[in-house]
Chain A
Amino acid sequence: MIGEPVFGVIADPSLATILDEKDDDREGRDAVARPLAQRADQDHRREISTRDRFNSVGPKRAATDAIGNRNLCLGEEIDGRNCRSGDDQPLVLKIPDLHVAKPIAGAGNHIRGEREQKPLSDFSGPLFNGLGEPGTLLKFDPQALQQHNRRRKFDNAVCAKRNQGKVARENAGADGYRGLDGHPCGRESFQPEGVANETNSCSIGIKGHHQLLGSGWPVVKESGDQPESVPESQGDEKPGMSSTPQLLAVETPVSFKGRGDRTGTANLRGADLRWAIAFVLPYAAVFFVFVVYPFGYALWTASKPSLYADLIADRLYLPALLNTLLFVGLGVNVKMFLALLLSGFFMRRRWWIKVLLSIFIVPWVIAAAQACVSFHWMLQQEGLVDGILSTLFGIDGPIWFNDRWLGIGWNIIAYIWKWMPFWTVIFLAARMRIPREIYDAAEVDGATGIRHFIHVTFPLLANLYLLCTLLSTLWTVGDFTTVYLVSGGGPAGATNVLATLGFHYAFDESKPALGVAAAMSSLPGLIPIAIVLMRRVQTSEAHL
């Protein structure tokens, strides 16, 4: 069970399966410990996970909120304080702060929302039949909720992507808690064409845990007199809770640290903190031993300014710089673009396409050295390429590596040949994650073919595409094997790139310091890319 795709299991919205408890514990859980109002304060500081993909960074509605967390009983209220589900299990729903935007009509497909704290009671939609003041018990309509969540999810996804840049800036608030569903919804929300705007899309800050119970609501179960502290620090035994894959109820609200949360105390304590450190330690060790020292040494070696004067004066350097720009610029972008297109091609479900995919991956699997040597030999006078040319077209190929531009061209081609399969698979995986419903919805709206790609697929993959491009750029600048073995640096060093040039200086000209300097001269270009990459990873929702 544990290996099954998580999501498939959580299909059953039936509340009966939510909690799988043993009978003997019922007493312990019977009474809802605290008055709901009492909890509001404490819970106000808590946030349900902000790492959920629909909950990224954003400001928590701060202490100025008049409304704190709410506890909504999804079952039947008892005594005005306790809450029971139909199965005699207490069930309390925690609703964190809501962030409700006011729809402004008349903006075509866009609804401008404004951020405004609204009491839950102002919300009227199919989800709840009248939300009331804190502590109000509500009826819960699972069906409606499910439907709502589907739409929400799509909206959230698209809207989030659109807004994430803006939101990240806006929401860099004190608590790092962004709306409830992570919905950025600040200035703009996106309404897909044709979908009736019956709800305030992007307007409800509802916790977006759609997976849970099919409902998306985090379910909080009260348990006896247990103080609402972090379970980890107590290590408390909660016998009777079912095995986790089925269980989605969290017994006590766990306070999760959102990024930048400063209102809570440290959430990892004691044993957990030790574990966390233990887990991180190996990588930290690797990093310090094998990254910091070499980087430091390299930077120190390359810090003599006279080296750079020598570099500029050297006849090989500036052409190599240009070659690197070409190699990286063309290589990466053409490769990524083709990978994106081909990932669409490989999505089709035919058997021969699957076979083709396996064959397509082979270039990646072949060791780079041999593949590049093979390319080099293919392009010799009377090699395979010339053979093909003369058989098919009856012409004699030129001496490929005598010409700088042809040499660079073939380097790029060899590079694309080798690495495109890898990125194609990455994009393919991402495409496969796009929920079916989005495609369905889009089809309903009439988007097919190119429009489908432009309006649906590409926006959803855009962030991943950018991420991959940045990463690939960093990797390609360092690509040594391809140029070294295919064109060998070309006629008289004319097709060198910085990596091979650095190697040449270090080992052929016995000037290692100059080699390191040549390589480091690309840092002014690489560091910004690395920074952008890091930002993107942090604020991104790269996968659906």
Chain B
Amino acid sequence: MVSLTRRSVLRGSVGLAAAGALALPHVANAAATTVETWWNQGYLPEEDVSFRALVADYQKASGDKIDYSLIPNAPLRQKEISAIQSGGVPDVMEVADIRFTPLNAWGDHLIDLDDIIEPGKSSYSPTALSCCHHYNNTTKKRAFYMAPMKLGSWPFHFWRSLVEKAGYKIDDIPDTWDAFLDFFIPVQDKLREQGMRNVYAYGYQLAGNGGDPIVTFNQFMIAYGGNDFITADGKLHTDDPKVRDAAVKGLVKLTTPYKEGYVPPGVVSWNDADDNNAFHSKLMVMDFDGSISTELALYNNKEEYDQTVTHGLPLGSDGEKVPAQVVGFGPTIPKGAKNIAAAKEFIKYMLEPKVLNEYLKGGLGRFAIPMPEMAKSDPFWLKEDPHRTVHTEQTLFGPTLPIYEAYNPAIAEVDAEHVFSVAEFDVLKNGMAPEAAIDKAFKRPDEIFTKYPITQA
């Protein structure tokens, strides 16, 4: 690991130095201000190294001081909420969870970043921009409240070794949604026959906590044609029969394997980390999880890493590619920050294509860069590593839609209640019929959305 780190650091700092030199003209020559920054501690150590290099370069170039803290995800989430609540906000906060920006933009707790993003708008992918374009209920219009630095989507991950052990070949895997999923059932059967007592086909996240179960359900719903669940204007369409139908199908597809024993029974109490652990210990063959974190955790172990396969979303039943949900992460500037101008300069720097590229590459490309041109021109993204290629393609070049939170923050509140996990529970444990479960689940969004009227598209 050390050697890889060094290499990536070397690469990162050289790149950043170069980028920094290029960026110099853009950096305002203000008096040295200290910008207090809260940043998400990386999943991989390399991400932190990369960030530190970025900061060092910026400090040299601009003369400002960045007083940063690298905080793990869960406490960052808690601190950000406490900070907004109590007023003790830093200058720059990196978003820790997908609900943060839409809800706080709605409540007018964030500074809008239009002046930073508008100039370079064309270099971003449209979905990336949607991810940051939130509705502010006080100003009654949408604006950019987060700088899109990291983009991620949800591919499938599975073990080549297990598939092959079951006697199948990767190339045999079908390309349409249902067939793709069903493929793994006989894989489990075969593996069980061979004596692997504890192996399951899928590791669907059905628990009532964390963010993954929500995305999982939404993706299944989208796959069956329910992408209009919420439209870009922020309106909810639970009354659309197509949406309802898709939701029911998705619910069935998720719960039936569980009932039939193809999903580990413990999934209903998993948190966001448990599925990764389970995947690593080969408890299941296939997992559906965001970005390529699952594989990158095995980066040290080259053999294992190569045995994992990242697979994009298969085609829908209509033969068209299923739109992938995309999430964006990046920094925000909360209201009440003391050094807004300096903070904006810092963010502008970070959004420089070269700087951003180096930063993300230093982090092993766990997140995709939101700039399609950059991704195409740098072989790192689409040529060097199969996992990364699939993920980048899915995030930038396939049909995508932002996670629903971008359209209307109301869904964030709905998600906090895990209405669809409850529906899954109802079907699995309480024996409810899927249609009834969906109807029950749809009631809550109906109620909650009335609290969030969006008057402008």
Q: Which of A's residues lie within 8 Å of B, judged by CB?
A: 314-316, 380-382, 399, 401-402, 407, 487-493, 506-510, 512
Contact = CB atoms under 8 A, between A and B. Distances in A.
B268 A488 contact: no
Nearest to B413: A509
B363 interface: no
27 contacts: A314-B417, A315-B422, A316-B417, A380-B266, A381-B198, A381-B266, A399-B265, A402-B268, A402-B269, A407-B269, A488-B269, A489-B209, A490-B269, A491-B207, A491-B269, A492-B207, A492-B209, A492-B418, A492-B422, A492-B425, A493-B418, A509-B416, A510-B81, A510-B100, A510-B103, A510-B412, A510-B416
A301 to B, nearest CB: 9
Given A380-B266, A512-B81, 18 more contacts: A314-B417, A315-B417, A381-B198, A381-B265, A401-B269, A402-B265, A402-B268, A488-B271, A491-B207, A492-B208, A492-B418, A492-B421, A508-B209, A509-B417, A510-B99, A510-B100, A510-B412, A512-B85
Contacts of B78: 507
B416 A508 contact: yes
Contacts of A508: 209, 416
B264 interface: yes
Which residue of A380, A381, A510, A512 has the most chain B CB atoms within 10 A of its CB atom? A510
Contacts of B269: 399, 401-402, 407, 487-488, 490-491
Contacts of A315: 417, 422
A92 B359 CA distance: 89
Nearest to A494: B208
A488 B209 contact: yes
A509 B418 CA distance: 10
A208 to B, nearest CB: 54
Given A315-B417, A510-B412, A510-B416, A491 B268 contact: yes
Q: Is the interface of A mostly helix, strand, loop or mixed?
A: loop
Interface in B259-294: 264-266, 268-269, 271
Contacts of A493: 208-209, 418
Interface in B44-63: none
Interface in B32-83: 77-78, 81-82
Contacts of B412: 510
B233 to A, nearest CB: 23
Contacts of A490: 269
A491 B208 contact: yes
Contacts of B198: 381-382
A382 B85 CA distance: 42
B103 A492 contact: no
A488 B274 CA distance: 12
Nearest to B416: A509
Interface string B4-20: 00000000000000000
A296 B384 CA distance: 59
A384 to B, nearest CB: 15
Nearest to B274: A380
A402 B208 CA distance: 11
A315 B441 CA distance: 12
Contacts of A399: 265-266, 269
A334 B325 CA distance: 50
A506 B81 contact: yes
Contacts of A401: 266, 269
Contacts of A381: 198, 264-266
A383 B271 CA distance: 17
Interface in B100-126: 100, 103-104
Contacts of A407: 269
A506 B81 CA distance: 8
B83 to A, nearest CB: 11
